[in-house]
Amino acid sequence: MANVEYRGMNLVIPENDSEWREHFKLARQRRKLVLRKCAKCGLMRYPPSHGCPWCPSQEWSWQEVSGGGHIYSYEVVHHAIQPGFKEWTPYTVALVELDEQRGAPTADEALRIIANVVTREFRPEPEANIAIGKRVRVVFQEIGEDWALPQVSLTDEPPVGRVWSFPG
């Protein structure tokens, strides 16, 4: 059983939960975001799961992706719920759309992940810098021997689509 304390939370991966154990372990070892790719139709999916959402296959392999993407939506937490996040407020939780497989297999679908937008020092990026459309890159926050959390940092690449930040 992988068991990591992070920000006062007890993150638990039982021995039989291979989908998450390998996901976080490969993130730590390779410093790459790895997703499950269907052996039959070739489409990737996240979170790691056991059946392809689009075809009947249960065969898959781990596939590295570039880690590039943009902020699709976000929120800024000012009132932390978990005690370990209080010293981090205000922090951004972003819904990040990855560069691979955008608009596939249908226009409404994409590979998206949840991550915090962090600085090089793994501190929360100031909220004034956050906007929908801004480019980000996955970075890896090591939180245990076999465990890295994929987070994202802003890049200086041109944005994707209209740039918009919450006016409040």
List of residues contacting another protein (CB under 8 A): 6-7, 9-14, 17, 20, 24, 45-47, 49, 53, 72-83, 85, 88, 90-91, 93, 95, 108-116, 127, 132, 149, 151, 162, 164, 166, 168
Residue with tokens 């021995």: 15
CB of 137 to another protein, least distance (A): 16
CB of 21 to another protein, least distance (A): 10
Query: Between the CA atoms of 53, 108, 64 and 160, what dihedral angle is there, to the nearest 10 degrees?
Result: -170
If one counts every other C-beta atom within 10 angstroms of the C-beta of residue 9, the result is 12
Between 31 and 112, CB nearer to another protein: 112
> With contact defined as beta carbons under 8 Å apart, do 124 and 90 qualify?
yes
CB of 28 to another protein, least distance (A): 14
Angular region, 16: left φ>0, alpha ψ -120 to 50, beta rest? alpha
Between 34 and 115, CB nearer to another protein: 115
